Structure 1
Amino acid sequence: MRLVLNEEWVVGEPIGNGGFGTVYEAENAAGERAAVKLVHKQPGAEREMLFTDLGGVRNIVPIIDSGEHEDQWVLVMPRAEKSLRAHLEQNGALSLSESVSVLSDLAETLVDLDDRIVHRDLKPENVLLLNGRWCLADFGIARYAEATTAQQTYKFAGTFAYMAPERWKGGRATSASDIYALGVLAYELLEGATPFTGPHEHDFYEQHLHGTPPPLTTAPALLAALITECLFRAPQGRPAAGNVLERLRRLPAAALSGGLAALAEANRAEAARRAETDRQASAEATEAERRRDLLEAARTSLNFISDQLLTTITNIVSTADVRKGKDGGWTVRLSDAQLTFTSSKETDPGAWDTDTRAPFDVIAYAAVQLKIPQNRQGYEGRSHSLWYSDAQTAERYQWFETAFMASPLRGMSSLMDPFALNPHHEARGAVSPGMAMNQVAWPFIPLTVGDLDEFIDRWTDWFAKAATGQLGHPSRMPERDPEGTWRK
Structure 2
Amino acid sequence: MTDVERRTALANSAKNSFERISKEVLETLLDSATAATVVRGEHGDWVLLLGRAKLALNRPVRNSLGRGIPSVSWGTKPAPFEVVSAAVITLTCGSPVRGYRGRSHSLWYGDVQNESQFGWYETAFMDSVWTVAPEAIQSYESPYGLSPTDKAVLALTTNTATQLAWPFMELDVLDLSEFVDRWAAWLAAASEGNLQAPSEQPERPPRGSWRMLP
Fold match (TM-score > 0.5)? yes
TM-superposed deviation, 1:354? 4.8
Match of 2:56 in 1: 340
Distance 1:450 1:345 in 2: 23
Deviation of residue 360 (structure 1)? Answer: 0.5
Structure whose residues are more often strand by fraction = 2
Match of 1:329 among 17, 41, 45: 45
The alignment's C-alpha RMSD in Å is 1.7
Offset at residue 358 of structure 1 (A): 1.0
In 1, Cα distance between the equivalents of 2:132 and 2:92?
A: 23
2:199 paired residue number: 475
Corresponding residue of 2:211: 487
Instruction: Quickly say closer, same or farther: Cα 1:375–1:317, change in 2 above 3 A.
Output: closer
Q: Give 5+ residue unaligned stretches, structure 2.
A: none
Cα deviation, residue 376, structure 1:
4.8
| Residues 187-236 of structure 1: per-residue CA shift (max 9 Å, x gap) | xxxxxxxxxxxxxxxxxxxxxxxxxxxxxxxxxxxxxxxxxxxxxxxxxx
Note the alpha carbon deviations across 1:225-248, whole angstroms, 9 max, x for none.
xxxxxxxxxxxxxxxxxxxxxxxx
Is 1:428 matched with 2:153?
yes
Q: Check 1:303–1:326 CA distance in 2 against 1; reply closer, same or farther (3 A cut).
A: closer
Q: Percent identity?
A: 39
Shift of 1:468: 1.5
Matched, 1:315 2:31: yes
The one-letter code sitting in structure 2 at the alignment partner of 1:453 is S
Amino acid at match of 2:98: Q
Over 4 Å off, 4+ runs = none
Cα deviations by residue, 1:97-117 (Å, 9 ceiling, x for unpaired): xxxxxxxxxxxxxxxxxxxxx
1:317, distance to aligned residue in structure 2 (A): 2.3
* Aligned AA (1:302): F
Partner Cα separation in structure 2 for residue 403 and residue 382 of structure 1: 9
TM-score (norm 1): 0.40
The answer to whether the 8 Å contact 2:156/2:164 transfers is yes
- Quote the offset at 1:319 in angstroms: 1.9
2:186 to 434, 450, 462: 462
Inter-partner Cα distance in structure 2 for 1:472 and 1:370: 12
Equivalent residues in 2 for 1:84-483 (5 A)?
285-350=1-66, 352-412=73-133, 415-432=140-157, 434-483=158-207
Structure that is richer in helix per residue:
1
Aligned-partner Cα distance in 1 for 2:210–2:6 = 22
| Aligned 8 A contact 2:97 2:193 in 1 | no
Whole-Å separation in 2 of the counterparts to 1:330 and 1:354: 27
Say if 1:382 and 1:286 are closer, same or farther in 2 by CA, change over 3 A. Answer: same
Distance (Å, rounded) in 1 between the aligned partners of 2:97 and 2:187? 19
Alignment correspondent of 1:73: none
Post-superposition offset of 1:356: 4.3
Instruction: Describe the SS at the equivalent of 1:458.
Output: helix
Q: How many residues are aligned here?
A: 203
The higher relative CO (CA closer than 8 Å, separation ≥ 6) is in 2
Structure 1 unaligned segments of length 5 or more: list them: 1-284
